[in-house]
Amino acid sequence: MTGHSSTTAPRTRRAPKGEKRREELLDAALQLFSLEGYTGASIARIADIVGISVAGVLHHFPSKVALLMGVLARRDEVNHRIVDQLQSEPTLRSFLHGLQEINRSNATAPGVIRAFSILNAESLVDSHPAWEWFQTRYTAIHRRMRERLEMLVEKGEVRGDVDLDATIHQLLAMMDGLQLQWLRFPGTVDLVARFDGYVAQVERDIRP
């Protein structure tokens, strides 16, 4: 799971009780999505976990699609904050460090990453309700990373002959691919160490 989406709708102001219930529903949806995927999860099961009626769920989220979007957007908000905090300085080190910190954050939330990975794979079918969200997300992430790297080329932080698109594709593939191996073999795959090692290699390869 990488970067953040620029298409997340701003949250409206809610009463504390309503916000608490909303977070409980998102937690329950995340739990079910991580076990059964979007297709297998049901609003009735989510309602049971939280201890309210289906009507109570629909009061906060009018459909299962709305719950799905809420789960995805909430995780991207975490990554958004990480990137904003770490990439204020236009340097190659800060750019790569932001990716490393996102990966470290992901390593603390296997349930979230499991759900995200399942939904990502399910949404490869264009009839899936998250198809457009993931398409837009990866397109936006690639665009932002490309803009950042182009600026670093201009500053002399990245060599001018580097294939920027290939570098971005490889970084994203390594992040997503390592997450799958880590989820499958958590005892033998060190998600943080493996990605940090790869980032060090990338930094050596693209610096002038």
Q: Domain spanning 69-206: which CATH class is it, in words?
A: mainly alpha
More confident site: 62 or 86: 62
How far is it, in rounded angstroms, from Cα 37 to Cα 124?
A: 13
pTM of the entire structure? Answer: 0.79
- pLDDT interval class at 12 (50, 70, 90): very low
To which residue do tokens 């009018």 refer? 62
* Crossing angle for the helix pair 92-107 and 131-154, to the nearest 10 degrees: 150
Residue-level pLDDT at 104:
93
Task: Say whether pLDDT at 10 is over 60.
Answer: no
How far is it, in rounded angstroms, from Cα 148 to Cα 133?
A: 22
For the record, the structure tokens of 186 come out as 């958590």
Contact 119, 184 (CB under 8 A): no
Share of the chain above pLDDT 90, in %: 60
